[in-house]
Amino acid sequence: MRGDLSAKSRKMAQRLRSLIRKKCVAMPGAFNAGTARLVEQAGFDAVYVSGAGLSNATGGVPDIGLLSRDEVALLGGYVAAAVDIPALVDADTGFGDCGLTVKRFVRAGIAAMQIEDQVPAKRCGHLGGKRLVSADAMVKRIVSAARGRGSGNFVIVGRTDARAVEGFDQAVRRAEKYLEAGADVIFPEAMQSGEEFAEFARRVKAPLLANMTEFGKSPLLTIEELSEMGYRIVIFPQTAFRIGMKAQEIALRELLESGTQKALVGKMQTRDELYALLKYRP
């Protein structure tokens, strides 16, 4: 058991707030603690834990809100405990009582939480067929989350999926309401062009998060481009997962066909490299 990591959560939340005041923070996605250590080792200032990553890698299920609050707090907590950089964890639609979710995440050492305005049976933000709760219902989620953190520094990211459902202007209107309710950062999901990312930043005066997921509706812009527009967080939720899955697929096919892994050894992380990553000295 890791115990209560509330002090770490407060420290990492304050660090994240300080970072986004100074620059645009890149957050690669980690679907487990080992990958999070790689993110930290590579030199990134923070790590993102996506619901898709946890669902796909751990549950072997699609990103449709099937994991529970307890499961996400546990898995996200493993990530937060393994690194000394802030962890932003995707809480989907908040798991009902958003205030309770914040309290659970704080105890797990997590610095920040993302909640969205879809109905609880959510869908991946870059798929069609999404359905939203009302703006007022989402405001209640954010208010609950803000009450849950009390006087702490825990960072609340309010995501709106309205662009694909109600249109760009309504996404802006919802974002403004979410800021008033207590969101610290706004995440406009599935912007469809660089011009839309820029226009959203012009109209919504707040720290903004951009999602650079592959194979989605948004163009793959650079951190520098998004920073110049005014974005303060850029997430790459599934990049490491997709690279890793494809590499494993190729390796397993080679193993099946050849009956040995000899040709793969040069492409592997070595035992010594793993132990160094884990800070383990046998």
Q: Fold for domain 6-237?
A: TIM Barrel (3.20.20)
| CA 29 to each of CA 47, 111, 193, 224: distance values in angstroms, whole numbers, following the listed order | 6, 15, 22, 19
Residue 53 contacts by C-beta under 8 Å, 6 or more apart in sequence? 29, 30, 31, 237, 238, 241
Whole-number Å distance between alpha carbons of 137 and 132: 10
Q: Within the chain, where are the H helices?
A: 6-22, 33-42, 51-54, 69-82, 98-107, 135-149, 162-165, 168-181, 194-203, 223-229, 239-258, 271-278
**What pLDDT band is residue 166 in, cutting at 50, 70 and 90?**
very high
pLDDT above 70: percentage of residues in the chain: 100
List residues bridging with 237 in a β-sheet.
Answer: none
**What predicted TM-score, i.e. pTM, was given to this entire model?**
0.95
Whole-number Å distance between alpha carbons of 121 and 69: 14
Q: What is the pLDDT of residues 64-106, one digit of tens each?
A: 989 999 999 999 999 999 999 999 999 999 999 999 999 999 9
- Positive or negative torsion for Cα 59, 63, 69, 74: positive
The residue length of the chain stands at: 282
In contact, 29 and 48? CB cutoff 8 Å: yes
Residue 263 contacts by C-beta under 8 Å, 6 or more apart in sequence? 254
Show me where the domains of the chain are located.
6-237, 241-282
Instruction: Flag whether pLDDT at 153 surpasses 70.
Output: yes
Q: Please report the pLDDT score of residue 1 as a whole number.
A: 46
Q: What is the pLDDT of residues 45-58, one digit of tens each?
A: 999 999 999 999 98
Q: Give the pairing of strands 185-188 and 155-160.
A: parallel
Least confident of 1-10, 116-125, 211-220: 1-10
